[in-house]
A and B are shown apart, each in its own frame.
Chain A
Amino acid sequence: MSRYILRRLIAMPFLVLGIVTIAFLITTVTKGDPLTAIVAEQQMSNPEVVAAAKARWGLDRPLPERYMIYLGNLLSGDLGTSFITKRNVGTDILYRLPATLELVFAAMIFGTVLGISLGVLAAYFRNSLIDHGARLFALFGSSLPVFWSGLGLLFIFSVILGWLPGPGRLDARLALPPSVTGFLTIDSLLAGDLTVFRDALWHLMLPAFVLGWTVSGTISRLVRANMLDVMSREFVLTARAKGAGEFRVVVVHALRNTLVPTLTVIGYSFAYLITGAVLTETIFSWPGMGSYAVEAARALDFPAIIGVTIVGGLAFLVTNLLTDIAYVVANPRVRLG
């Protein structure tokens, strides 16, 4: 087991290098000229200004040299300077990342709780109304684009019913709690400010649900299929013959045996959401990495684009590694074999 994890760990630096290289190269093959992001339009015809800008940002040097400089800076933790904000990209991302992570964590809670419970119910009450309902819910979740479901739900719950607040992370009239984790819900609790906590939580509900819905479909379908398989196995009959109640049979015996494949899909969903929260963040004006990435892409802010790509890739790698570790822990046959 430890050898397997060790091998994965050894592979990590190479994968990271691959991600960095590809992210760096992609920006060089795009049509857009980064100079348009740096130099004002009316100055573009002025060769002196253009040459100065090129020299300032190192765009006059050959690609391999730029790549080596970038790698060198990266090793010392420097992701470069954003063309637009003129701040360090790393600082920008660190400032934005907690918002995304808070959204994704909340979305995963929705996604896994809904996905697992609907999957279990659908399998247990197979071919019943519950099963069909769960199937429909999963279908909509996986196939409705978030800009559609997000706007629709915003319209219903925020505009018409007024139950939930509109876009944003927090009511503009409220003061941000002192940043500890960057998660508004946790920071407000740490600061003992329940008003902010409640408002942050309400703001989180809708985007988290919309995002969680997209992955709950995959999870519930997988859980249903696995549950059907496991429920027909003899140890389920043994558990019933012992006198165990149905809840115990289903949750303790059957569900636990579907955990391994479920963990895998949850891990991948998490990684997918970190990189896939872009649209949801845009719709809900969520000041996270996704909206940062969109702004960067619009402005051809290459250092920011590369930075976001690398961080997203890293998140993917780390989540997959954690998934593999969880897989090993949850499965005694792998653990001991």
Chain B
Amino acid sequence: MSVTQLSTAPGASIGEPLLSIRGLRVGFRRGGAQFEAVRGIDLDVARGEVVGIVGESGSGKSVGMLAALGLASSNAIVTGSVRFKGEELVGKPAREMRTIRGARIAMIFQDPLSSLNPVMTVGAQIAEAIRLHQRLTRKQAMARAVELLSLVAIPQPERRVHQYPHEFSGGMRQRAVIAMAVANDPDLLIADEPTTALDVTVQAQILSVLRSLQERLGLGLILITHDLGVVAGHADRVAVVYSGRVVEQATVTRLFADPRHPYTRGLIASIPNLEDSRERLFSIDGAPPALGRLPGGCAFHPRCVHAEARCRTDDPPLLDIGDRLSACHFATTLPPFHGLAATEIGSVAS
């Protein structure tokens, strides 16, 4: 597998990126066999930039980010390079990783119902996050927790801070989780499907809370999602992940207007469109390959309408094709595609 010069890639940041991932691979040994959940992810995130990572469940997008933070399960084999502010994180001792996790890089997870400890008050959990990285008294940390709760627009934070998670609604829990994540004023926030488990109306609120915090604190934000609408509405740049690899990476506008990978095209074509009178929604045929059962050549070829002979044998590298990166042999010669314009993207975004 080849790694392209991403530092000169279009859409990438100028100067040293906040986070720079190169050739990240995550393998698991199960029984005697070995499986690769992530087969080489390259990604850059600049200060204050919002990068979306899109892919189906099981595509390796979450596992890759967990591994980057040293949070993959103990039987995972992580290789490649993850540099945060120039510092290599892969292979860093657990003790040192703990000083970065929660302080410089924070991560929030999908299910706000289970991502808070049910037997600790919300305030105690936020205070814990603070006191793990800052020398504050319990009282000072609790006062800060109240501030943080009001920062994520939770009403009556002085009262709420003493309540248990089960007294919070789903949306409020996710706000509390976000408050906890930004407690130590991190540089980078990784949000793994932050709105998937929530009602549609609440999703929009949570995203706007995330965005306003991101802008105010100048956070780098990685939005992991399977929802293209979320990406369209909130990300600056998008990486599309399929079977553990980035298959296309571009700015949001370019990606949606003119996708240059058949998988991306399939994803965009499956977005429901109110103005469209088609009766049936488009869907990509087939299912993503199971772990350890990857087809030869391009992993997407069995589902690809453009697949040709070489796709079955040669795995295309992620290449710079001018205005983006794409891992398709026919990236530049794909037939025209009716993409979505910025305004349409807006209507898709929830």
Contact surface of A with B, Cβ cutoff 8 Å? 233-235, 237-246, 252-253, 256-257, 259, 330-333, 336
Q: A243-B98, A333-B166, A336-B164 are in contact. List 13 more A-B contacts (CB 8 A).
A: A234-B109, A235-B114, A237-B66, A237-B115, A238-B180, A239-B117, A241-B101, A241-B102, A241-B107, A241-B109, A244-B102, A253-B117, A330-B119
Q: Could you list which residues of chain B lie within 8 angstroms of chain A, going by C-beta atoms?
A: 66, 69, 71, 94, 98-103, 106-111, 114-120, 128-129, 132-133, 164, 166-167, 177, 180
Contacts of A241 in B (CB 8 A): 69, 71, 101-102, 106-109
Determine whether the beta carbon of B101 is less than 8 Å from that of A243. yes
Contact A332 B119 (CB under 8 A): yes
Q: A258 to nearest B CB, angstroms?
A: 10
A242 with B132, Cβ < 8 A, contacts A235-B116, A331-B119, A332-B118 known: yes
Residue of A nearest to B69 (CB): A241
> What number of residue pairs across chains A and B have CB atoms under 8 A from each other?
76
Whether A234 contacts B114 by the Cβ 8 Å rule is yes
- Decide: A240 and B71 in contact? CB cutoff 8 A: yes
What are the residues of chain A within 8 A of B71 when measuring CB–CB? 237, 240-241
Q: B126: nearest residue on chain A (CB-CB)? A: A242
Bound CA span A253–B114, Å: 12
Cα distance A239–B128 when bound, in Å? 9
Give A336 to B116 CA distance when docked, in angstroms.
18
- Per the bound structure, the CA–CA distance linking A239 and B108 in Å amounts to 10
Q: A234-B111, A244-B132, A332-B166 are in contact. Are A257 and B99 (CB under 8 A)?
A: no
A11 to B116, CA, bound (A): 37
Are B128 and A244 in contact, CB atoms less than 8 angstroms apart? yes
In the assembled complex, how far is the CB of residue A9 from the closest CB belonging to chain B, in whole angstroms? 26
Bound CA–CA A333/B177 (angstroms): 20
- The 6 A-B residue pairs whose C-beta atoms are closest, nearest first, are A243-B102, A242-B102, A234-B114, A234-B115, A243-B101, A241-B107
B95 and chain A: residue at smallest CB distance: A245
Complex-state Cα separation, A331 to B100, whole angstroms: 33
Contact between chains at B119 and A242 (CB < 8 Å)? no
Asked if A238 contacts B109 (CB within 8 A), the reply is yes
- A and B contact pairs by CB, cutoff 8 A, 11 listed: A240-B101, A241-B109, A242-B106, A242-B132, A243-B101, A243-B133, A244-B98, A244-B128, A245-B98, A256-B119, A333-B118
Residues of B within 8 A of A331 (CB): 119
CA distance A203 to B46 in the complex (A): 68
Which of the residues B108, B119, B180 comes within 8 Å of A257, measured between beta carbons? B119
A235 to B99, CA, bound (A): 19
A242 contact from B66, B118, B128, B167, Cβ within 8 A = B128
A257 touching B132 in the complex, CB below 8 Å, given contacts A243-B100, A332-B164: no
Question: How distant is the Cα of A242 from the Cα of B128 in the complex, in angstroms?
Answer: 9
Cα–Cα distance between A235 and B118 once the two chains are bound (Å): 9
B118 partner residues in chain A, CB cutoff 8 A: 235, 257, 332-333
**Shortest CB–CB separation between residue B300 and chain A, in angstroms?**
30
A256 to B167, CA, bound (A): 19
Residues of B within 8 A of A244 (CB): 98, 102, 128, 132
A124 to B49: give the CA distance in the assembly, Å. Answer: 38
Q: Given the complex of chains A and B, what is the CA–CA distance between A274 and B195 in angstroms?
A: 53
Q: In the complex, what residues of A have CB within 8 A of residue B133's CB?
A: 243
For B121, the closest partner residue in chain A by CB is: A332
A109 to chain B, nearest CB (A): 24
Residues from chain A with a CB closer than 8 A to the CB of B94 are: 246
Q: Which residues of A contact B129 (CB under 8 A)?
A: 242-243
Residues of chain B with a CB closer than 8 A to A336's CB: 164, 167
B129 nearest CB across to chain A (Å): 5
Are B177 and A238 within 8 A (Cβ)? yes
Q: How far is the CA of A244 from the CA of B177 in the complex (A)?
A: 15
- How far apart are the CA atoms of A85 and B99 in the complex, in Å? 70
Considering the complex, give the chain B residue whose CB is closest to the CB of A236.
B117
Report chain B residues within 8 Å CB of A256.
117, 119-120
A252 CA to B167 CA, complexed, in Å: 21
Nearest chain A CB to B247's CB is how many angstroms away? 27
Q: Would you give the shortest CB distance from A220 to chain B, in whole angstroms?
A: 21
Shortest beta-carbon distance, B65 to chain A, in Å?
Answer: 11
Q: Which chain A residues lie closer than 8 Å to B180 at the CB level?
A: 238, 242
Q: Which residue of B lies closest to A238 (CB)?
A: B115
* Chain A residue, CB-CB nearest to B165: A235
Q: Is the CB of A333 within 8 A of B164?
A: yes
> B101: which A residues are within 8 A, CB to CB?
240-243
Asked if residues A243 and B117 are in contact (CB atoms below 8 Å), the reply is no
On chain B, the residues within 8 Å of A333 by CB distance are: 118, 164, 166
Complex Cα gap A252–B128 (Å): 11
Question: In the bound complex, do residue A257 and residue B100 qualify as a contact, i.e. CB atoms below 8 Å apart?
Answer: no
Residues of chain B lying within 8 A (CB to CB) of residue A233: 114
Query: B252 CB to closest chain A CB, in angstroms?
Result: 27
Contacts of A246 in B (CB 8 A): 94
Q: Which residue of A lies closest to B112 (CB)?
A: A234
A65 CA to B177 CA, complexed, in Å: 69
**Chain A residues near B167 (CB, 8 Å)?**
336
Q: How far is the CA of A235 from the CA of B110 in the complex (A)?
A: 11
